[in-house]
Structure 1
């Protein structure tokens, strides 16, 4: 058993290697590596296909949607949206208070919904409501969204750095998924290069 002093004396590279050796084997966590690879590949393929379909769909909507449209259930749509937002913000507060990692997901999702809320409030408002929508977007919704999203990314970076998955000063988008895959060995080696 290593003592705290022995661990403190380890270099960052040695600590990274120790964590890699102590991590629970993938086969103990998922049904199989083949299942893991197929799941990842199918989800990535689905996202690529979705993006490819979305491009012409956006063009179609831009060309065919009317500038003015009377919507049914306008009140239910907005109240339902705000209830989802309330649920995510409340969950973020509770999970943050309890110091749970799921906070990262709820904070990021709440931030994204706040950006959407500001976008639709400003674009669908008219008359005196437009001024109020712009003021609340600039003064409340967008700053709170930025706080939630950056807080989630900072927490993600902190957790990854503590597990030696991210070099000091690394960005959140550089954090590798910590599950081995045959095709990802080169990516893992590049992301785990020692900084010392």
Structure 2
């Protein structure tokens, strides 16, 4: 009974319990089986980290459309969109069997990004950053990407997810490719105690700007 329930839960994600109930192992042409298409949301987040301060912005992709690999239930326009993204990312030669009941199947943003900006809208951050000015020189982003693993031909024995920590102003236009559905931004300089209206902007490779806002309370 427990095994049947597990199969049905997997089936709900992939589009139907019957589709995969007889398959533990699925031959996958792409390493990434899911892409998420949605706008970003931002949330204040506290985390005590030595030498970095404790105030973060957590940006995440929630809900929206999930494009699925055809092997895992993607059909019609959904599958076509998945294949277009996978081709663009060079992720169509994985060609390995995957245990869909055991492995933690990866997912990432459907978009790749050339730029990431952050600013405070309502108040000066410090003497060098008036309200509304770019904070990229004092903002650091922590994120995880699958791009290097895919571009290197899926090397066996190496971790597929690689973590990065970079100042926003140091990001190259290919760095934010195949990123997971959550990133963290923190600041090397903190403003005085108060309430700050924050804006984070992601610029896609197509030039579209996706903006998220939130209120950050500094104690």
Higher helix share: 1
Relative to the length of structure 1, the TM-score reads 0.25
Higher strand share: 2
Q: Which has the higher contact order (CA 8 A, sep 6+)?
A: 2
